[in-house]
Amino acid sequence: MIRWLACFLILLPAAQAQAHPHVFVDTALRVEIDEAGRATGIEVSWSYDDFFTLLIFEDMGLDPDGDAELTEAELAALQGFDLDNWPEDFEGDLYVYAGEEKLALGTPEPRGVRVENGRIVSAHYRPLPEPPAADGLRILQYDPTYYVAYEVTRGVELPAPCRAEVTKPDLDAAAEAMKQELATVPEDAFEVMEVGDLYADRVTISCDPSS
């Protein structure tokens, strides 16, 4: 997600880094659907936890008075901070499926940043280059390594006659799977486990037939 966050992650042994998340993000989604009922893109809004917000402020030299209120110049400097230098294979922790097919997403476009209740809230847009039918679309938001924990707690917005259902993960099953996976990794080994999907909220879109 962020350059120095990735650098910090690689310094930790796998068992320490992967056992639990270190950054917590509340997500909101807005799905754009055209008149033909096709999903053309998704706006993603991330509300970062208080501690991570403070780390970003310190790292970027923002908010020196500690009042959690940024000037226009500081907000301009913060714009796109979590979109910089995405690796070529980084998918933005956003996964969209039509049936069993994982869909390609376009390059992220910044849509603004603000500070709300002491937390950074950023937004960006991911176009769908080949728009699929919105009905039946599945959207998952997760970090494969589970270093960042996302929850779709701030709603999913989309136009009628479509609606979204958010299914929470089975945390007991996820914890058991994590435990079994950790048992296979030597304590001093460096091996990144990809278990984030076990903890992912699953968004399913359904649309009524056009009249």
Sequential DSSP letters for 53-104: HHHHHHHHT--TT-SS---HHHHHHHTTTTTTT--TT--TTEEEEETTEEPP
Q: How confident is the model at residue 183 (pLDDT cuts 50, 70, 90)?
A: confident
Alpha carbons 183 and 6: distance in angstroms, whole number: 24
For 44-85, what is each residue's pLDDT tens digit?
999 999 999 999 999 999 999 989 899 999 999 999 999 988
Average pLDDT score, the chain: 88
Alpha carbons 157 and 113: distance in angstroms, whole number: 19
Name every residue whose Cβ is closer than 8 Å to that of residue 148 and which is 6 or more positions away in sequence. 1, 21, 22, 23, 24, 25, 93
Domain enclosing residue 59, as ranges? 3-207
Alpha carbons 210 and 160: distance in angstroms, whole number: 10
Q: How confident is the model at residue 185 (pLDDT cuts 50, 70, 90)?
A: confident
Count of domains for the chain: 1
* For residues 111-117, average pLDDT: 96
Alpha carbons 54 and 124: distance in angstroms, whole number: 21
For 125-181, what is each residue's pLDDT tens digit?
999 999 999 999 999 999 998 899 999 999 999 999 999 999 999 888 888 887 887
Alpha carbons 89 and 81: distance in angstroms, whole number: 18
Alpha carbons 135 and 91: distance in angstroms, whole number: 23
CB atoms under 10 Å from CB of 40, counted, come to 15
